[in-house]
Amino acid sequence: MHPALIVILSLIGALLFLWFVVFRIVRKFRLAPASRRSVTLLAMILENPVRRCFFSPAKLLDKVGIAVGMRVLELGPGPGFFTIEAARRLVYSESPGKLYCLDIEPAMIARLKEKVSKDTLENIAIMVGNGEHLPFKDGSFDLAYLVTVLGEVPDKDRALRELYRVLRPGGVVSISEYLPDPDYPLRRTTIAWARRAGFEPFQQFGNFFAYVVIFRRGYAEVR
């Protein structure tokens, strides 16, 4: 093999190792919201147009089952890759639904507010908050969705119990994860976490690299 090719392949191998092994181990012990500088970088990555080709908001929201008039929670919206499309789908009726966006990172929320202010939508409420302590009453929502968020939350059991509490009985939560997110959990791990909170999966899409699992909240009392 040509020496230059060996160097290039070794470099790629080292980068992949860094990303998938070292970075994941570090994140396991140090799950924290992004710093301001990394928020800018992360927002650029999340908003990049190539992502739209592989993971379009319209396609995801079709699967999630968002519909006119619903009260919906988007947990961890970041800069709002899915937000405008989701809010639009709620409004074509006499009584429009409402989208609540809650993110722990104030700089992300600032970006999202700026983005939403450029649109005419009036059915979006945006707030800083922690998914482990949702500031909503029991049974407030018909649907919640999270995209590449759960893996970042330190206390996943707590966050999922909170989602169970704020959904109405029979309400649904959609959890999407995909590689190369360094906090990517395997699908079976996500399902095990959600089951511990009382959710049951009823629809699944995707493959090893990118998946969406939709869970229904049962009718049992909040645990």
Ligand X SMILES: C[S@@+](CC[C@H](N)C(=O)[O-])C[C@H]1O[C@@H](n2cnc3c(N)ncnc32)[C@H](O)[C@@H]1O
Q: Which of 105, 142, 162, 177 binds ligand X (CB under 6 A)?
A: 105
- Residue 164 exposure: Cα atoms within 13 Å on the Cβ side: 21
Interface with ligand X includes 103 (CB under 6 A)? Answer: yes
Site string for ligand X, 16-55 (x = CB under 6 A): -----------------x------------x---------
Q: Which CB sits closer to ligand X, 95 or 207?
A: 207
- H-helix segments, 18-88: 23-29, 36-47, 49-54, 57-64, 83-88
In degrees and rounded to multiples of 5, residue 63 shows phi and psi of -70, -40
Contacts of 80 (CB under 8 A, 6+ apart): 101, 111, 112, 115, 116
- Taking CB under 6 A as the binding criterion, the range among 73-81, 92-100, 165-173, 204-212 that sits at the site for ligand X is 73-81
The residues that bridge with 143 in the sheet, in sequence order, are 72, 172
Interface with ligand X includes 213 (CB under 6 A)? Answer: no
In degrees and rounded to multiples of 5, residue 206 shows phi and psi of 95, -160
Q: Which of 99, 153, 172, 212 binds ligand X (CB under 6 A)?
A: 153
Interface with ligand X includes 131 (CB under 6 A)? Answer: yes
Q: Which CB sits closer to ligand X, 69 or 158?
A: 158
Interface with ligand X includes 57 (CB under 6 A)? Answer: no
Contacts of 143 (CB under 8 A, 6+ apart): 64, 65, 66, 70, 71, 72, 73, 167, 171, 172, 173, 174
Q: How far is the CB of 37 from ligand X (least distance, A)?
A: 14
Q: Which residues are at the interface with ligand X (CB under 6 A)?
A: 33, 46, 75-78, 81, 102-105, 108, 130-132, 147-149, 152-153
